[in-house]
């Protein structure tokens, strides 16, 4: 991890960033990167123990909060905790995602369809609904919604996932219009395949996943979580001060084809 004292990585100094789905994978990588760039981080996840372990690892500038992004009361309580601890919020990263489900519109149950949209899309709505007032009261901030390359190009038997991620891209654009005058920038970020434990739902190990998925990316490999975290930190920082209402594809060229 890069030192907080390095002036090239202090872009988030004094900032408080809340990350949903922070307990593992991309979310944990984003939390570590934000901390390394000088920020304080709120590790929000329904996996309370895992979030607490990460916050303990990260130290005094990290706070773990248990939250269910599909439940407005839960998100409101989480933001009350943030307000009580830090008194401010400068960034929100909605990274929470439901387990991947294969299926066509014929195969999926209504419950499976609703679960995907509830976590990814409604979760972004609820996290933003309760985070934005605290951000606005402090003078503004940045929201990053983690989408997917499949918001741009579809894939088979993933209708709920594709629909939810595409919705995040347009949600970010609409929010950017609504809140620009309040000092809020809103963007989405669309990764390609990333080497996290999620891939083990389909492949026996990450090496096998890379062999299968890597060639679909122009760079010939899948991403590392740190690469997604670095791009997220850019969007959260003042380096992206003139960037809002856009989607940043961090997909190794997957969607070019």
Which pair of structure tokens corresponds to residue 81?
Answer: 């905790």
Match 């997220």 to its residue by tokens: 232
Residue 223: helix, strand or coil by DSSP?
strand
| Long-range pairs of 6-10 with CB within 8 A, sequence gap ≥ 24 | 9/36, 9/37, 9/38, 10/37, 10/38
Please answer whether residues 51 and 22 qualify as being in contact, where contact means their C-beta atoms are separated by less than 8 angstroms: yes
Query: What proportions of the chain, in percent to the nearest 5, are helix, strand and coil?
Result: 50, 15, 35
Q: Report domain extents, the chain.
A: 7-245
pLDDT of residue 99: 87
Of these residues, 125, 130, 150, 161, which one is catalytic?
161
In angstroms, the Cα distances linking 37 to 7, 76, 234 are 9, 27, 10
254 is catalytic: no
Whole-angstrom distance, CA of residue 32 vs CA of residue 29:
5
Please answer whether residues 157 and 171 qualify as being in contact, where contact means their C-beta atoms are separated by less than 8 angstroms: no
pLDDT of residue 257: 86
Q: Which residues contact 123 (CB under 8 A, 6 or more apart)?
A: 20, 69, 70, 94, 96
Can you name the residues that pair with 17 across neighbouring β-strands? 41, 91
Please answer whether residues 93 and 152 qualify as being in contact, where contact means their C-beta atoms are separated by less than 8 angstroms: no
Q: 10 Å Cβ neighbour count for 90?
A: 21
Give 10-residue mean pLDDT values along the chain (257 residues). 50 98 98 98 97 98 98 98 98 94 94 97 98 98 98 96 98 98 99 96 95 98 98 98 98 96
Task: Classify domain 7-245 at the CATH topology level.
Answer: Rossmann fold (3.40.50)
């Amino acid at each position: 991890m890069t030192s907080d004292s390095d002036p090239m990585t202090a872009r988030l100094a004094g900032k408080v960033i809340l990350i949903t789905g922070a307990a593992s994978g991309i979310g944990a990588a984003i939390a570590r990167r934000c901390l390394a760039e000088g920020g304080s981080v709120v590790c929000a996840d329904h996996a309370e123990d895992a979030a607490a372990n990460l916050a303990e690892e990260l130290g005094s500038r990290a706070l773990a909060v248990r939250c269910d992004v599909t439940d407005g009361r839960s998100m409101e309580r989480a933001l009350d905790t943030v307000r009580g601890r830090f008194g401010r919020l400068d960034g929100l990263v909605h990274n929470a995602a439901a387990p991947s489900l294969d299926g066509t519109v014929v195969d999926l149950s209504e419950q499976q369809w609703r679960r995907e949209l509830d976590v990814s899309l409604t979760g972004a709505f609820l996290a933003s609904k309760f985070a934005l007032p605290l951000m606005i009261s402090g003078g503004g901030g940045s929201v990053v919604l983690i989408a997917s390359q499949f918001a741009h190009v579809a894939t088979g038997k993933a209708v709920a996932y594709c629909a939810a991620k595409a919705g995040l891209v347009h949600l970010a654009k609409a929010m950017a219009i609504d809140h620009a005058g309040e000092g809020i920038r809103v963007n989405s970020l669309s990764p390609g395949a990333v080497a996290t434990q999620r891939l083990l739902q389909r492949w026996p190990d990450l090496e096998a996943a890379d062999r299968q998925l890597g060639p679909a990316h122009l760079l010939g490999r899948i991403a590392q979580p740190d690469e997604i975290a670095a791009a997220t930190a850019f969007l959260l920082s003042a380096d992206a001060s003139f960037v809002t209402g856009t989607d940043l594809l961090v997909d190794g060229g997957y969607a070019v084809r």
